[in-house]
């Protein structure tokens, strides 16, 4: 069995977000290094940002700064570095989305 790579984690996130009715496009923002890897768009107008890392990976200074900026604007930002964390993330946001009313 191979070690889990960041790309494995990223594929799992996209698949699981789509399974609950959302989308997780890659965020590419020219001139803005450090933005989170994925914008997770969930049902009922819910939007969160996800930075993906290989297991044990850490966010760099620019990534931390972007996370602070987004959190300061009221957004949720998650750093995820394992399949298990994705499963917890999906469980949490699924419950939050189902509570939200249109």
Structural domains in the chain, CATH included, are 6-97 (3.40.1350.10)
Q: What is the pLDDT of residue 4?
A: 77
In this predicted model, what pLDDT tens digit does every residue of 48-95 receive, in sequence order?
Answer: 999 999 999 999 999 999 999 999 999 999 999 999 999 999 999 988
Nearest to 48 by CA among 18, 22, 27, 78: 78
**SS3 assignment for the chain:** CCCCCHHHHHHHHHHHHHHCCCECCECCCCCCCCCCCEEEEEHHHEEEEEEECCCCCCCCHHHHHHHHHHHHCCCEEEEECCHHHHHHHHHHHHHHHHHCCC
Q: Describe the strand order of the beta sheet including 46-52 as a list of residue ranges.
A: 38-42, 46-52, 76-80
pTM over 0.95: no
Q: What is the pLDDT of residue 102?
A: 45
Mean pLDDT over all residues of the chain?
91
Q: What is the pLDDT of residue 7?
A: 87
In this predicted model, what pLDDT tens digit does every residue of 23-36 receive, in sequence order?
Answer: 999 999 999 999 99
Token look-up 């957004």 returns 75
């Amino acid at each position: 069995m191979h070690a889990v790579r960041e790309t494995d984690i990223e594929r799992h996130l996209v698949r699981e977000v789509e399974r609950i009715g959302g989308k997780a496009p890659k965020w590419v923002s020219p001139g803005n290094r450090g933005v989170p890897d994925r914008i997770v768009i969930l049902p009922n107008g819910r939007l969160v940002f996800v930075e993906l890392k290989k297991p044990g990976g850490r966010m760099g200074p620019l990534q931390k700064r972007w996370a602070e900026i987004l959190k300061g604007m009221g957004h949720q930002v998650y750093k995820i570095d394992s399949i298990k964390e994705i499963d917890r993330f999906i469980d949490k946001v699924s419950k939050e989305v189902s509570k939200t009313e249109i």
